């Protein structure tokens, strides 16, 4: 006879680390999104992947640095991307990552991650509105390029 298994009783919550004021109030275009996301991605020497959780009016309610990678790559887990979205009760999300090289051309991996996040979002009821690639004062919107449907 084995002894009983101990099961932890837990609660989950987001912890606010800091906050910022966003003058536009809601995300209405990739340009609005870029203005918000570049605050977190400018001048980084490694790739950072961030998630902005939005309410039903496309107003940002939380931003999470989800993954930090190397000079030219970052592994992205849909589970980790959706974790902060779920905990912040997001209606939708926008994701962004930087290319420290400054080249904002999307890679095959960028497109594949975007497609996976769209599918996971559909299953969970949390829409992916855009995926921005940011570098050297400019950006690429994968939504504008037709990768998000």
Gap between the Cα atoms of 127 and 109, Å rounded: 20
* Stretch (H or E) spanning 66: strand 60-68
61-87 per-position pLDDT tens digit: 999 999 998 877 788 999 999 999 999
88-144 per-position pLDDT tens digit: 999 999 999 999 999 999 999 999 999 999 999 999 999 999 999 999 999 999 999
> Does residue 5 belong to any structural domain of this protein?
no
> Does residue 95 belong to any structural domain of this protein?
yes
The number of distinct structural domains making up the chain is 1
> Does residue 98 belong to any structural domain of this protein?
yes
How does 21-50 read in b/e, with b if 16+ C-beta sit within 10 Å? Answer: ebeeeebeebebbbebbbebbeebeebbbb
> Does residue 78 belong to any structural domain of this protein?
yes
Range of the domain at 60: 30-141
> Does residue 67 belong to any structural domain of this protein?
yes
> Does residue 115 belong to any structural domain of this protein?
yes
Full-prediction pTM beyond 0.85? Answer: yes
pLDDT for residue 57 is more than 80: yes
List the CATH number of the domain containing 93. Answer: 3.40.140.10
> Does residue 119 belong to any structural domain of this protein?
yes
Q: Is the dihedral of CA 73, 140, 89, 21 positive or negative?
A: positive
- C-alpha distances in angstroms, 7 versus 1, 10, 12, 79, 83? 18, 9, 16, 23, 22
> Does residue 87 belong to any structural domain of this protein?
yes
């Amino acid at each position: 006879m084995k002894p009983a298994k101990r099961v932890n009783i837990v609660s989950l919550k987001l912890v606010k680390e800091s906050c910022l004021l966003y003058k536009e109030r809601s995300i209405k275009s990739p340009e609005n999104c870029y203005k918000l996301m570049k605050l977190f991605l400018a001048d980084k020497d490694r790739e950072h992947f961030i998630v902005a959780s939005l309410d039903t009016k496309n107003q940002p309610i939380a931003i999470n640095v989800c993954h930090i990678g190397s000079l030219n790559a970052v592994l992205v887990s849909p589970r980790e991307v959706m974790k902060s979205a779920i905990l912040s009760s997001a209606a939708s999300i926008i994701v962004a990552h930087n290319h420290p090289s400054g080249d904002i051309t999307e890679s095959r991996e960028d497109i594949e991650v975007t497609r996976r996040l769209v599918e996971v979002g559909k299953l969970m009821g949390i829409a992916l509105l855009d995926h921005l690639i940011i570098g050297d004062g400019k950006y690429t919107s994968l939504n504008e390029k037709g990768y998000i449907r």
